[in-house]
Chains A and B, each alone.
Chain A
């Protein structure tokens, strides 16, 4: 509850900052302070200290997993603002308002990590989405940005309609919004609701699959990620996507029994389709930004494993994946915003001219590809290990398919590294400050640290 209230208040505070000052660095500093405060109040909540006590009537249920995920996401946002805060204020005319919208998104994230009622799921998804439609269209003079925003808005509203239809069906047949009431332990001897509940849940899952851009509901992703200002693409592809997965896991945790055995068939098909479409299409891209959009679809395929199996290991896995994927993607997009030419050729010869940028970018790409000693390796490892732990050798084929696609992903990530190190060229790049380079190096060190000692992050979770 601390995080929900404080993030909403921070959003309002950012709006007021916009009234009193137009100084961009002052706005950024206020945002950084608010984010630090957000992390602190969330940690306080984890240790049982509340700013205000609210009787939520079991609409929200706070668990360690959700709270730790909040901390992780807020920390990732802090890194994002420290690294790309300048780009946020420069993306359009309203720097402070963009930060306000980012805080509202965080409010949506903190609802989605602890919702216990389908009503809160709906409100959380909407608070998450609506600011994003606007951030996508932040670059008002750019036609592509406008198109992406409109497309995202129309598709997003449509998927919200499907979500509401699903909630209506589930409510109509069970008479409750609570996902808790349907947990297996509670519902022993509960009446069989027939076909309507699985159909309603199916609609909800379709809407959530849309939000995390899993195939076959991924068609909006490349256009929107490509059209949006790069700095907001970075925010959307990392923090927002991870929140979508956590909401997914919460729902599945509670309701998988009602869905019956069919999910064990449907979900692997969706996972494989997502991996296939994401990876194979990414191979053929010319623009690095668009390649990253497809790669985010491919990574979503891996994150879906945490929905497919639900045990302690998959929960650790999704936490690690969120950390690894967010840090790496934020880093790559931060470098991408500095490039004048965002095709693969634009990276030619970057290593000679800007060795620090090239080296950190290489670390980020290696992490996304899942090479050992980087955080991405353990993220993928935990996901696949969770599948094997749950289903034994029966699910081995799924693991093998996933590893094959991870090998395909190495191809397009290494194309960037190859361009940077082994090709001659004159990369055009806007001026980078020393602070920016330091932040990039910090991110790279963080990735290697998590990749070497993943337990450090996870121990903190159990602490």
Chain B
């Protein structure tokens, strides 16, 4: 068991435990904080796969921006109470069944996928998550949609000003 494997098992355990804690903790604010831990653990996995850019983007976008948004919503709506409204037993059962179905599909998919049983993750020489490749794809193959999406953002900005400005 080398260092990489130790880190991998540690991060996986961390991710699973934190994901469970997201569901189990009664306080919504704690759930959000646990979710941030999940994202950190997953970013750690990305770094193990030599995808530094993906790891950083995952942290900035998910752990940074989206989680702050979650926190704002929870605090603005004043949901940060220990007590939770009592849920219907049927609702719980329906949730368990639908979640279980998804789990079953995922597991059966992974078991059936022959491609991945023979391959191992490329730990150090993988280059799919590097920023250089992303840049090349973005500014070569996808340069037209990339540039044209600026029109989309421009029109959205004009719209925000037109709608939002006091007159």
Contacts and interface: CB of A to CB of B under 8 A. Distances in A.
Contact of B152 (A93, A100, A126, A138): A126
A420 interface: no
Contact of A131 (B143, B159, B167): B159
Contacts of A100: 155, 158
Contact of B162 (A59, A94, A119): A94
Contact of A15 (B145, B149, B152, B158): B158
A140 B167 contact: yes
Q: Majority SS of interface residues in chain B?
A: helix
A57 B140 CA distance: 8
B145 A59 contact: yes
B159 A133 contact: yes
For chain A, which range describes its interface: under 10, 10 to 19, 20 to 34, or 35 or more residues?
A: 20 to 34
Interface string A122-166: 010011001101100110100000000100000000000000000
Contacts of B151: 8, 11, 104, 107, 127
A101 B155 contact: yes
A320 to B, nearest CB: 30
A127 B163 contact: no
B141 interface: yes
B154 interface: yes
Interface in B103-133: none
A1 to B, nearest CB: 9
Interface residues of B, number: 19
A54 interface: yes
Contacts of B142: 57, 59, 119
B144 interface: yes
Given A93-B167, A134-B162, A138-B162, A57 B155 contact: no
A60 interface: yes
Given A11-B154, A130-B152, A140-B163, 15 more contacts: A4-B148, A8-B151, A11-B151, A15-B158, A56-B144, A59-B142, A59-B145, A92-B162, A93-B167, A101-B158, A101-B159, A104-B151, A117-B145, A119-B145, A123-B149
Interface of A: 4, 8, 11-12, 15, 54, 56-57, 59-60, 92-94, 97-98, 100-101, 104, 107, 111, 117, 119-120, 123, 126-127, 130-131, 133-134, 137-138, 140, 149
5 contacts: A104-B154, A111-B148, A120-B148, A134-B162, A138-B162
